[in-house]
Amino acid sequence: MMNEANSFEELSERELPQWYADTPFGIFVHWGAYSVSAWGEPIGALGTIEWETWFKHNPYSEWYYNTIRIEGSPAQEHHREVYGDMPYDGLLDMWKAEKFDPTDWATLFRDAGAGYVIPTTKHHDGITLWEAPRTEGRNTVARGPQRDLIAPIADAVREAGMHFGVYYSGGLDWHFRPMAPHTTDESVNDTGRPKDAEYGAYCAQQCRDLIDRYQPEILWNDIQWPDDAKNFGPDGLGTLFNYYYAHVPTGVVNDRYGDTHSDYLTSEYSHLLANEGDKAWENCRGIGYSFAYNQLEDESHYLTGYQIARMLTDIVSRGGHFLLNVGPKADGTLPELQRQALVDLGAWMRTGAKDALYGSRPVSTEDVTAGAGVWVRGVDKEGTRRLFVDLEEADPRVAARATLTVGDEQVNVELPAGRPGPVIY
């Protein structure tokens, strides 16, 4: 166990826990009152849309509370048509989670090859999925589902042999610290977020409660942390980090606490790609364009299991982790297209892909020359290099052959019809 740090610089000397270094694939879960409305315009992926368009037509259905407050937005019009003048919190009372089966979730995630699971505990709407301190009944124990939703997920995930983490929005809380609706990236990350120490103390108290109750091995913060609490005072962020590492020595934190401390960096869809470098990093995204369930998304917006397998392989070959999100419906069931994608991914993982990827590190492929249209990625595990081979424009329903040269040897790799992902060579 590390000694208590007195600065963020001291915290940066901490070594990355081995379990995280060796576990490249996790499942994110965005579930909240926004899963009742389940509405966002599927205009595209983050990082590919101009900010001015993004906020007014936000494809992230978990941002519904913000989007319906933007005058003239299609989400605002939709809310008025469907819910009239009902305030956002009416969605919390409509959320029942009546078919929630955490064991089913955990089994599906484990069989898909995941090694860790991170559910949202408080998103930007400020509603907590456990009986958090100072929420005054604005949580899922007092309202809506009328139960702690985090404890059963934690128990099921660990019972299935995976690591458990939590998402917590420290950067934004549109209820506890109401601000004008965000319409710019600058508003989200600077001018329109709370920065005061009192809000920082509120967040720290809730995070300590999460640590005490659930001992999460990942604290996944979002957006930022209140500037006036970025210190080592009694309710400061540095003190919270010390508390966390003392109680969960194998724990890790991401980089969304501002310029303070992190165990690893993050990117999101095609945003923040500069973070994908030498330090430990993780890319997160939904199976569709939204993290939370979006009723407007269909098969044309979703990744298939085959596409996820390719994406995972590419990320791991570059030294990254992949946090793939699922968005349950309000009743607790997973959309069938999302479930099928995970089932298909699991079929590929069982071909030997999981064993090759877990515990692996990037490896040079300079001696590998691919034929025209051939897709190749490589990893090293315990001194053995494994190549993942496919075609750039692949139709997995059709058998094909990929030709490549490895050193002085020409290799023909058979790509069978119905393959669930890249073929391991």
For residue 223, give the CATH number of its domain: 3.20.20.80
Q: Are residues 350 and 380 in the same domain?
A: no
CB-based contact 325:341 (threshold 8 Å): no
Q: Are residues 169 and 243 in the same domain?
A: yes
Structure tokens at 317: 């070959």
Residue 330 in any domain: the answer is yes
Q: Are residues 254 and 403 in the same domain?
A: no
CB-based burial, 312-346: b 16+ in 10 Å, e otherwise:
bbbbbbebbbbbbbbbbbbebbbbebbbbbbebbb
- The beta strands (E) that lie in 223-373 are given as 252-253, 265-268, 281-286, 320-326, 361-362, 368-370
Residue 375 in any domain: the answer is yes
Residue 3 in any domain: the answer is no
Q: Give me the pLDDT at residue 1, please.
A: 52
Last residue of a domain, one of 357, 372, 401: 357
Residue 39 in any domain: the answer is yes
Q: Are residues 397 and 346 in the same domain?
A: no
Q: Which residues in the chain land under pLDDT 70? A: 1-2
Q: Are residues 329 and 206 in the same domain?
A: yes
Kindly state the helix (H) or strand (E) to which residue 27 belongs, with its residue range: strand 25-29
Q: Are residues 327 and 385 in the same domain?
A: no
Round to whole Å and give the CA distance between 312 and 357.
Answer: 9
Q: Are residues 372 and 271 in the same domain?
A: no
Q: Give me the pLDDT at residue 2, please.
A: 64
Instruction: Quote the number of domains for the chain.
Output: 2
Round to whole Å and give the CA distance between 252 and 320.
Answer: 15
Q: Are residues 263 and 379 in the same domain?
A: no
Q: Are residues 139 and 215 in the same domain?
A: yes
State the pTM of this model.
Answer: 0.98
Residue 2 in any domain: the answer is no
Closest CA to 25 of 363, 404, 358: 358
Q: Are residues 163 and 136 in the same domain?
A: yes
Residue 285 in any domain: the answer is yes
Using N-to-C axis directions, what is the helix angle for 102-111 and 150-159, rounded to 10°?
A: 40
Residue 1 in any domain: the answer is no
Last residue of a domain, one of 336, 357, 378: 357
Closest CA to 24 of 403, 261, 362, 407: 362
Last residue of a domain, one of 341, 357, 373: 357
Residue 18 in any domain: the answer is yes
Residues 6 or more apart whose Cβ sits within 8 Å of residue 204: 229, 235, 236, 237, 239, 240
Residues 6 or more apart whose Cβ sits within 8 Å of residue 383: none
CA distances from 206 to 83, 199, 221, 358, 389 (A): 31, 11, 12, 33, 46
Q: Are residues 198 and 343 in the same domain?
A: yes
Q: How many CA atoms lie within 13 A of 202 on its CB side?
A: 22
Domain limits at 112? 8-357
Q: What are phi and psi of 132, to 5 degrees?
A: -75, 150
Q: Are residues 325 and 390 in the same domain?
A: no
